[in-house]
Amino acid sequence: MLCGIEAIREALVDQAESFSGRGKIAVVEPVFQGYGVVFANGERWKALRRFSLATMRDFGMGKRSVEERIQEEAQCLVEELRETQGALQDPTFFFHSMTANIICSIVFGKRFGYRDPEFLRLLDLFYQSFTLISSFSSQVFELFHNFLKYFPGTHRQVYKNLQEINAFIGRAVEKHRETLDPNSPQDFIDVYLIRMDKEKADPSSEFHQRNLIYTTLSLFFAGTETTGTTLRYGFLLLLKYPHVTERIHKEIDQVIGPHRLPCLDDRAKMPYTDAVIHEMQRFGDLLPIGVPHMVTKDTCFRGYLIPKGTEVFPILHSALYDPHYFEKPDAFNPNHFLDANGALKKNEAFIPFSIGKRICLGESIARMELFLFFTTILQNFSVASPVAPEDIDLTPRESGVGRVPPVYQIRFLARGGC
């Protein structure tokens, strides 16, 4: 286990190549089996990562930028929240719908209506799976999977859920094949199919159907659950600390005003809001033990010889909660990211997306989403809770591979002038 930012950086950045392998997560290994961009290793991983980064960077395929897609989705969400007319809501559905739709837009070339039954089923499968993977029983399975795999348990439900999602992706791929125009790719799947066709004579090509399905599944999992869950934590924190919400509203009113759409250029002029988003991610600590790495060759590290194939866990929690870098790590405090003049300050221990060659593929999209969704919602709404701030409990519902915030109710109340 790598504890503390110094050890994590030394391994994942200074000895990046040696630590760039991907370890296994027992509960999802029977599904992925080393395929797809997140769980691949070696040349397969390099080829899929290069392709995925380039394709997502080129979005939206010369038409709409990712920023525009997020702005549009944020407006769709605002309309949905208006329709609630201030009634109590569990925000899970809304936050996961909008983050899933960004991935749908990039991968499938379309967004889904929030009432679409197929979309609702997909969201339910992702949410359920992330919760199960983060559960205590999955941690036990991680330790004793060679024995427990023969018995019923959460691992079987996770397998069933992910296979159902894969079947959905498979059907989408077939539809894309029927409508594919090689001169005008519309989305990630189209670009992949064109590449697959180009390399079909090469038996060693990594661009085949299986990697397409598992890469798509990886992008969905990484892109929906993490950002949606961060927003759920974020709004729970706003309910607990109303003075923070007031300062954000003030900054939004000064910089953006009530009518213009928030855009990424606003971020540089909104240090307090940006600091709150950073602190939401730090405090939420979504992947406390990181995703396992594996050393690709016998490696000397801090006087130890680590044999090739050894799994290594970068404990992100140890960096995000390090008192040497964050004055009061157990408290939610946006000042962790503000200097004496109120400007945003960088903190090298802030690594919610990990670091090095395996840094989260969707980091830039996730950062865009968090800023634009957060500011657009708060430009249009104030928030209220049926529970007094001092009684709001922040204890995670599950804490394993991932941390799942507690279930809570929130009111979105339209602000005047919006």
At residue 248, φ and ψ (nearest 5 deg) are: -65, -45
CB 97 within 8 A of CB 120: no
Confidence bin at 62 (pLDDT 50/70/90): very low
CB 271 within 8 A of CB 343: yes
Q: Is 263 annotated as a binding residue?
A: no
> Is the pTM for the entire model greater than 0.75?
yes
Say what the pLDDT of residue 60 is: 47
Which long-range CB contacts under 8 A does 267-271 form with residues at least 24 apart?
A: 267/371, 270/375, 271/338, 271/342, 271/343, 271/344
pLDDT in tens, 84-128: 999 999 999 999 899 999 989 888 888 999 989 988 998 888 888
pLDDT in tens, 133-157: 777 777 777 777 878 888 888 888 8
What residues contact 385, with CB distance under 8 A and at least 6 apart? 239, 392, 408, 409, 410, 411
CB 233 within 8 A of CB 287: no
Torsion, Cα 66 71 73 79, to 10 degrees, reads 180
Terminal alpha carbon distance of the chain: 50
For residue 70, what are the domain limits? 5-414
- Measured CA to CA, the distance from residue 43 to residue 333 in angstroms comes to 42
Residue with the bigger pLDDT between 380 and 115: it is 380
Q: What is the count of structural domains for the chain? A: 1
Say what the pLDDT of residue 232 is: 94
Other CB atoms within a 10 A radius of the CB of residue 299 amount to 18
The pairing of beta strand 2-3 with beta strand 314-315: parallel
Q: Which helix (H) or strand (E) holds 413?
A: strand 411-414
The CATH number assigned to the domain holding 236 equals: 1.10.630.10
